[in-house]
Amino acid sequence: MAQQDEWFSAWFDSPYYHILYNNRNASEAQQFMDNLLAYLHPKPHDKILDLACGKGRHSVYLNQKGYDVTGIDLSEHSIAYARQFENKHLHFAVHDMRQVYSPETFDFILNLFTSFGYFDNETENVVALVAMAQSLKYGGKLVIDFMNTDLSIATLVKEEEKVVQGITFKIHRGIEKDFITKTISFTDQGRDYSFIERVRVLRKKDFLEYFAMGRLRLMETFGDYDLSPYQRDESERMIFVLKK
């Protein structure tokens, strides 16, 4: 279903995406995983789907904790990298989240670190959410971790430069229609590049409408990776825990 002109098809599959974000906080991510596991209490035989898994580091960590994990992502390069870690209870596949991956298969589905809201057509957000719900077993739980949009807009840094591995990334952020946008421009080996990230401005009320359409029941809303209660004006994240 992915079209070549969809920005994430090119950017997430680019080596420069991983260069720019190679310093993302691994210890914070693992702490978040540990907090989620302590809250969700998955059983050893439960099946977990890591949806939009990137290069699979969180899938690998969950598998090391003893769980049966499948990681899926749209990026062929990321999945090709992740497959080196596969074992009997850890698998990876290239997949578009707008399509059902495996009906009524998973006890838990995790969609983490704002890996949602990319699509130009808002209806496709609902399509993606319904596809997630259909891959859950009855009684299974879905976790969606999204930025707290209001706080993100209020604290938006419009211009920024980052030098990573000798490449100077010039980043411009803004609001265009219903999207928070990030334009990333740089030169490498004499060639100019420009990519864009676009994430839809989604607030809690928007997600509640999506959840109703997906017939998912909201259990909890957390506001950070320590799983503190969500507060609209202060929380860094909106972390939704849903039950089918």
For residues 122 and 171, state if they share a domain.
no
For residues 46 and 159, state if they share a domain.
no
Whole-model pTM: value is 0.91
What would the two tokens of residue 44 be?
Answer: 């050893």
For residues 112 and 169, state if they share a domain.
no
Tokens 């260069």: give the residue. 19
Domain that holds residue 183: 152-197
Whether 1 maps to a domain, the answer reads no
Whether 83 maps to a domain, the answer reads yes
Q: Give the H/E segment covering residue 210.
A: helix 204-213
For residues 126 and 39, state if they share a domain.
yes
For residues 58 and 164, state if they share a domain.
no
- Is residue 2 over pLDDT 60? no
CA 189 – CA 83 distance, rounded (Å): 30
For residues 94 and 156, state if they share a domain.
no
For residues 137 and 239, state if they share a domain.
yes
The dihedral through the CA atoms of 49, 51, 56, 61 has a sign that is negative
Tell me the average pLDDT of the chain: 93
pLDDT (tens digit per residue) in 34-90: 999 999 999 988 999 999 999 999 999 999 999 999 999 999 999 999 999 999 999
Whether 2 maps to a domain, the answer reads no
For residues 24 and 99, state if they share a domain.
yes
**In the chain, how long is the greatest CA-to-CA distance?**
54
At residue 16, the 3 state secondary structure works out as: helix
For residues 32 and 133, state if they share a domain.
yes
pLDDT (tens digit per residue) in 71-83: 999 999 999 999 9
In total, how many domains does the chain have?
2
For residues 120 and 158, state if they share a domain.
no
For residues 85 and 173, state if they share a domain.
no
For residues 32 and 135, state if they share a domain.
yes
31 φ/ψ angles, rounded to the nearest 5 degrees: -60, -40
CATH number at residue 59: 3.40.50.150
* CA nearest neighbour of 131 among 95, 173, 156, 93: 95
At residue 30, the 3 state secondary structure works out as: helix
Final residue before a domain boundary, out of 197, 215, 234: 197
Q: Which distant-in-sequence residues (6+ apart) come within 8 Å of 125 by Cβ?
A: 116, 117, 119, 200, 202, 210
- Is residue 3 over pLDDT 60? no
pLDDT on residue 5: 57
